[in-house]
């Protein structure tokens, strides 16, 4: 890319600092997008589906950044807690809000695992060509599926 190693290390003190800065940058960008979607006015369903769509939109438009976030989580999971703007925290808060409003029909921990796991796999399967259709269709279908799976599409009490 035309950048010498010396130039990089005039800006960053170490490879470790580069690794952390990349994570913080990518995580912060995804966080901002999800925060904006959740902060919009509308029903819980609209806000939830909006968060799903912007999450996948980020993954589809920035696949290398999204893969990097996943690898960082797998290899350095304990370090993630040191960062302030973590998309996980927004999604967790959204799931807890659904629970508090008696919309969630599964335990919040499982709901969060289903939500994040599904989003990661949808990205992977779309990238592999296993999921057909335009990205917009995939985002809409995923949002609808997750809403129905986690809430039953209607009001339920927490068990």
**111 within some domain:** yes
| Encoded tokens for 33 | 């997008």
Question: Looking at residue 128, what is its pLDDT?
Answer: 96
Please report which confidence band the pLDDT of residue 65 belongs to, taking 50, 70 and 90 as the band edges: confident
**106 within some domain:** yes
Has residue 49 got a pLDDT over 90? yes
CATH, residue 143:
1.10.357.10
**158 within some domain:** no
Question: Looking at residue 76, what is its pLDDT?
Answer: 54
Number of domains the chain is built from: 1
Asked if residues 150 and 99 have their Cβ atoms less than 8 Å apart, the reply is no
CA–CA gap between residue 117 and residue 4 (Å, rounded): 38
Question: Looking at residue 37, what is its pLDDT?
Answer: 94
Which 3 state secondary structure label does DSSP give 86?
Answer: coil
CA–CA gap between residue 44 and residue 13 (Å, rounded): 44
Please give the average per-residue pLDDT across 72-97, as a whole number. 74
Rounded to the nearest 5 degrees, what angle is found at the Cα of 149, between the Cα atoms of 146 and 150? 85
**2 within some domain:** no
In the 8-state DSSP scheme, what is residue 133? Answer: S
Write down the mean pLDDT value for the chain: 84
CA–CA gap between residue 50 and residue 54 (Å, rounded): 6
Question: Looking at residue 87, what is its pLDDT?
Answer: 83
pLDDT of 141-154, one tens digit each? 999 999 999 998 75
Q: Is the pTM of this model over 0.75?
A: yes
**156 within some domain:** no
**83 within some domain:** yes
Q: How many CB atoms lie within 10 A of CB 102?
A: 12
**82 within some domain:** yes
Question: Looking at residue 56, what is its pLDDT?
Answer: 98
Please report which confidence band the pLDDT of residue 158 belongs to, taking 50, 70 and 90 as the band edges: very low
pLDDT of 86-144, one tens digit each? 788 899 999 999 999 999 999 999 999 999 999 999 999 999 999 999 999 999 999 99
Question: Looking at residue 81, what is its pLDDT?
Answer: 65
What residues contact residue 95 under an 8 Å CB cut-off, 6+ apart? 104, 108, 111, 112, 115, 150
What residues contact residue 19 under an 8 Å CB cut-off, 6+ apart? 72
**Domain with 40 in it:** 14-151
**9 within some domain:** no
DSSP string, 124-142: HHHHHT-S-S-HHHHHHHH
| Encoded tokens for 136 | 């917009």
């Amino acid at each position: 890319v035309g950048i010498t190693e010396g130039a990089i290390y005039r800006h960053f003190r170490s490879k470790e600092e580069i690794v952390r800065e990349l994570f913080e940058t990518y995580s912060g960008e995804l966080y901002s997008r999800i925060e904006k979607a959740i902060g919009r006015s509308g029903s819980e369903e609209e806000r939830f589906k909006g968060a799903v769509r912007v999450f996948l939109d980020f993954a589809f438009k920035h696949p290398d950044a999204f893969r990097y976030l996943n690898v960082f989580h797998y290899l350095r999971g304990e370090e993630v807690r040191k960062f302030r703007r973590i998309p996980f925290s927004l999604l967790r808060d959204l799931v807890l809000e659904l629970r508090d409003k008696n919309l969630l029909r599964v335990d919040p921990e499982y709901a969060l695992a289903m939500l994040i796991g599904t989003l990661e796999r949808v990205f992977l399967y779309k990238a592999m060509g296993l999921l057909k259709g335009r990205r917009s269709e995939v985002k809409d279908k995923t949002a609808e599926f997750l809403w129905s799976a986690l809430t039953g599409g209607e009001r339920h009490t927490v068990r």
